[in-house]
A and B are shown apart, each in its own frame.
Chain A
Amino acid sequence: MSSNIFNGKRFLLLCRQHFIHSNKMLLFSAVAYIGVIFIILSLVQMSNDRVPHDAEIFRELLLTFVAIFGILYVGYSFPSFRSKEATINYLMLPGSVLEKFLFELIIRIGLMLILLPILFWITFHLQGYFFSLFTTETFQPVGFQQTMDFEMPSEIKEAMFWFYTFIVSLVALGFVLPFTGGAMFSKQPLVKTLFSVAIIIIAYAGFTYIAVEKLGVGRYNVNDSMWLIPTDNKGIFRFLAFAAIIANVTMLFVAYRKLKEKEV
Chain B
Amino acid sequence: MISIKNLGFSYTKKQQPLFHQLDCELQAGSIAGLLGKNGAGKTTLLKLMIGLLFPTEGQVSIMGHQPAKREPSLLQDIYFLPEEFYIPGISMAKYVKANAGFYPRFDQDLLKRLISDFELPETKSLQKLSYGQKKKFLISFALSTKCRLLVLDEPTNGLDIPSKGIFRKVLAGSLDEDQLVIISTHQVRDVENLIDRVLMLENGRFIMQKDLFDISSQLNFSTASSAEGENVLYSEMVPGGYRVITPQTNGNSNVDIELLFNAISHGTEKMKAYVQ
- Docked-complex contact B98 and A21, CB < 8 angstroms: yes
- Docked-complex contact B89 and A10, CB < 8 angstroms: no
Q: How close is B205's CB to chain A, nearest CB, in angstroms? A: 22
* Alpha-carbon gap, A89 to B88, bound state (A): 11
Residues on the B chain within 8 Å of A10, using CB: 72, 102
Given contacts A3-B73, A20-B97, A263-B54, contact A94 B102 (CB under 8 A): yes
Residue from the set B54, B71, B95 with the largest chain A CB neighbour count within 10 Å: B71
- Docked-complex contact B99 and A17, CB < 8 angstroms: yes
Which one of A80-88, A143-151, A162-170, A241-249 contacts B?
A: A80-88
Residues on the B chain within 8 Å of A97, using CB: 70
* Alpha-carbon gap, A263 to B54, bound state (A): 7
- Docked-complex contact B103 and A94, CB < 8 angstroms: yes
Chain A, range 1-60, C-beta contacts under 8 Å to B: 3-4, 7, 10, 13, 16-17, 20-22, 24
Q: Which residue of B lies closest to A4 (CB)?
A: B71
- Docked-complex contact B52 and A264, CB < 8 angstroms: yes
Tell me whether A160 is interfacial, beta carbon within 8 Å.
no
Q: How close is B118's CB to chain A, nearest CB, in angstroms? A: 21
Q: B85 is contacted by which of A20, A85, A260, A261 (Cβ under 8 Å)?
A: A85
Residues on the A chain within 8 Å of B50, using CB: 92
Q: B94 is contacted by which of A3, A20, A83 (Cβ under 8 Å)?
A: A20
* Alpha-carbon gap, A77 to B209, bound state (A): 43
Q: How close is A82's CB to chain B, nearest CB, in angstroms? A: 10
* Alpha-carbon gap, A20 to B51, bound state (A): 27
Chain B contact residues (Cβ within 8 angstroms of A): what range? 20 to 34
* Alpha-carbon gap, A217 to B47, bound state (A): 53
Residues on the A chain within 8 Å of B82, using CB: 85, 88
Q: How close is A226's CB to chain B, nearest CB, in angstroms? A: 45
- Docked-complex contact A92 and B78, CB < 8 angstroms: yes
* Alpha-carbon gap, A255 to B86, bound state (A): 23
Tell me whether A93 is interfacial, beta carbon within 8 Å.
yes
Residues on the B chain within 8 Å of A89, using CB: 85-86
Residues on the A chain within 8 Å of B267, using CB: none
Q: What's the count of A-B pairs with C-beta under 8 Å?
A: 73
* Alpha-carbon gap, A84 to B82, bound state (A): 10
Chain B, range 74-112, C-beta contacts under 8 Å to A: 75-76, 78-80, 82, 84-86, 88-90, 94-95, 97-99, 101-103
Tell me whether A96 is interfacial, beta carbon within 8 Å.
yes
Residues on the A chain within 8 Å of B194, using CB: none
Tell me whether A178 is interfacial, beta carbon within 8 Å.
no
Q: How close is B120's CB to chain A, nearest CB, in angstroms? A: 19
Q: Which residue of B lies closest to A97 (CB)?
A: B70
Tell me whether A61 is interfacial, beta carbon within 8 Å.
no
Q: A85 is contacted by which of B73, B86, B94 (Cβ under 8 Å)?
A: B86
Tell me whether A91 is interfacial, beta carbon within 8 Å.
yes
- Docked-complex contact B76 and A94, CB < 8 angstroms: yes
Residues on the A chain within 8 Å of B224, using CB: none
Tell me whether B175 is interfacial, beta carbon within 8 Å.
no
Chain B, range 14-60, C-beta contacts under 8 Å to A: 47, 50-54
Binding site for A on B (CB under 8 A): 47, 50-54, 70-73, 75-76, 78-80, 82, 84-86, 88-90, 94-95, 97-99, 101-103
Can you give 24 A-B contacts (C-beta < 8 A)?
A3-B72, A4-B72, A10-B102, A13-B101, A21-B98, A24-B89, A80-B86, A85-B84, A85-B85, A88-B80, A88-B85, A89-B86, A92-B50, A92-B79, A93-B75, A94-B72, A94-B76, A94-B102, A95-B72, A95-B75, A97-B70, A263-B52, A263-B54, A264-B47
Beyond A7-B72, A94-B102, A261-B54, 19 additional contacts (C-beta under 8 Å) are: A3-B72, A3-B73, A13-B102, A16-B101, A20-B95, A20-B98, A22-B88, A24-B89, A88-B86, A89-B86, A91-B52, A91-B70, A92-B80, A93-B75, A94-B103, A95-B102, A96-B71, A264-B52, A264-B53
